Amino acid sequence: MAKKEKAFVVGSGNVFADLGHPRPAEALAKAELARKIGAIIERRGLTQAAAADVLEIDQPKVSALTRGRLAGFSLDRLVRFLVLLGSDVEIVVKPRTRAAGRARVLVA
């Protein structure tokens, strides 16, 4: 009996692009920023209510943010949350480094 090979597709590195999101670079950047915000909240041992006070939003929005429901959050707002949590945020603009393809938005 011959082994059956499994078919697979190699992803682009951006799940949002692979899923056909209309703005995949922005969606990925927002997800990374939200992940960092959630990690800071967890590391500091903040409850959602305490995090809401720090972020100047209500608790249900903290819940949405930490669960990855980011439709109501702009990149600007997520950056502001990081600053309110005591993080420095650097924005670097530079020429595209890849020879082909679109310019990217990266969160380091």
Rg of the chain in Å (alpha carbons) = 18
Q: Which of 68, 78, 77 is nearest to 16 (CA)?
A: 68
Return the axis-axis angle of helices 75-84 and 48-55, rounded to nearest 10°: 100
Q: Is residue 71 one of the residues assigned to a domain?
A: yes
Q: With contact defined as beta carbons under 8 Å apart, do 54 and 85 qualify?
A: yes
User: Which residues span the domain enclosing 64?
Assistant: 33-90+103-107
Does pTM top 0.75 for this prediction? yes
**Between 52 and 1, whose confidence is greater?**
52
Q: Is residue 62 one of the residues assigned to a domain?
A: yes
What average pLDDT score do residues 45-64 get? 98
How far is residue 53's CA from residue 55's CA, in Å, rounded to a whole number? Answer: 6
Q: Is residue 85 one of the residues assigned to a domain?
A: yes
**Between 104 and 70, whose confidence is greater?**
70
What is the residue whose two structure tokens read 């190699």?
A: 10
Q: Is residue 54 one of the residues assigned to a domain?
A: yes
DSSP conformation class of 97: -
The CATH number of whichever domain residue 85 belongs to comes to 1.10.260.40
Q: Is residue 2 one of the residues assigned to a domain?
A: no
In this predicted model, what pLDDT tens digit does every residue of 79-90 receive, in sequence order? 999 999 999 999
Q: Quick check: 100 pLDDT over 70?
A: no
Banded pLDDT at 64 (limits 50, 70, 90): very high
Q: Is residue 3 one of the residues assigned to a domain?
A: no
Q: Is residue 24 one of the residues assigned to a domain?
A: no
Q: Is residue 75 one of the residues assigned to a domain?
A: yes
Number of domains in the chain: 1
